[in-house]
Amino acid sequence: MEFSPIIDRQLAFHANKNICNVRQLATMEFTPEMRRFIAEKRVLSPALADRLIGYIVDNVLRQFYQVNQYFAFPGRAVEELRKLYIRLMEEIYTDEAAVVSPKHYMRLRNWLCQWNPFADQLYTQAPDEITPVVCAEYQARLQLQVLQLSPENITGPLLDIGCGEHASLVKYLRSIGVQAVGIDRMPPQNSVSLQYDWLEFPYGTAQWGTIVSHLGFSNHFHHHHLREDGDFRLYAARFMDMLSGLKPGGSFHYAPGLPVIERFLNRQDFQVETFPTGHHDFTATVITKLR
C-alpha cells in the first residue's frame, strides 16, 4: 500500500512513548513527513481509506501489545479505535496538523484507559518511555515438552489458543500430519491461524480433540485473578467454554496451571493432572474430558 511506509515511520516515531503520562502526551506530534502528507489533503477512495484505517488499527494494537501483553481490546474496543482513526482522517481535511495531533493523542490515551483502566494507574507517573515486555513465541518442540504432548498421542483436531503471529506449533503439527489450527489476537502472518480474541472465540461443543495454550490463556487468567479490576469471572466462564468444546476423551493442555479453578471441576467429568515444567514457579496441567 502506497501510504504504509509513511504510517510505519509515524508509528515508529512514537514507539514505546508513554501516552498515559500527560507530560509526555504534550510532546507527541506528527512527523514532518506526516505533516506534509496531511497538508496535501489527498482525497482517498472509500476502499483505500478503509484499507488504510485497517492497517493503522492493526499496527497500533500490535504496538500496545508489545508494551504490555496484558492489555485487552475486545471487538467493541477495536471498533471504537477504528472510529477514532476515521475521525482523525476527517479532521485532517478540515484542520491543520498542529491542531489535529494533540486532540488525536488525547483521544487515543482516553480510549486506552477506558478499556484498560489499570494502564492509568500503572503508567501515569511512569517514565516518558516504557520498556516493552517481550512475549516470546517458543519453539514447537519445547512447547510440546512443557505441555506433556508428543505427536503420537495427539487427538485431532487441535486448537492452539494464543498461537502467536507465526503459529510455530501449529505449523509443525500440520507438517507431520496433525489436523491443527491456531487463534491469536494479532493478524496472522501465516495461513494456519485465525485472528480471534480468546475471550470471543466460539469453542463449540464436543468439537476439539486437543486444546493447548502455552504461557497464554492461563497466564492472563492468573493476571486477572490478581488484579482488583480483573475480568477473572469472564476468564473462568471462557475456561469452562473451552472444556465444553472438547470431545469426550479429549484433553486441554496448558501452562501455567490454574489450581484456583481446577479444584472446582467435577472429577466425574474431568481428570486433572499436574506436571512439573522445569520452572520452579509454575506447573503444567492436562485436563481430560471423561464424558
Find the helix packing angle between 4-13 and 46-67, rounded to 10°: 30
**pLDDT score for 51:** 86
Report, as ranges of residue numbers, the positions in the chain whose pLDDT lies below 70.
1-2, 41, 132-137, 279-280
**pLDDT score for 124:** 82
What tens digit of pLDDT does each residue of 228-271 get?
777 889 999 999 999 999 999 999 999 999 999 999 999 999 99
**pLDDT score for 133:** 63
Each residue of 136-149: b (16+ CB within 10 Å) or e? ebeebeebbebbbb
**pLDDT score for 136:** 56
**pLDDT score for 52:** 87
Q: Output the pTM of the full model.
A: 0.76
CA atoms within 13 A on the CB side of 63: 22
**pLDDT score for 134:** 57
Q: Comparing C-alpha atoms, which of 28, 11, 9 is closest to residue 19?
A: 28
Which residues, 6 or more positions from 192, have their beta carbon under 8 angstroms from its beta carbon? 167, 170, 171, 174, 180, 181, 182
Fold of 140-289: Rossmann fold (3.40.50)
**pLDDT score for 187:** 72
**pLDDT score for 211:** 98
Residue 93 has φ and ψ, to the nearest 5°, of -85, -10
Domain boundaries, the chain: 4-123, 140-289
Cell of 200: 470471543
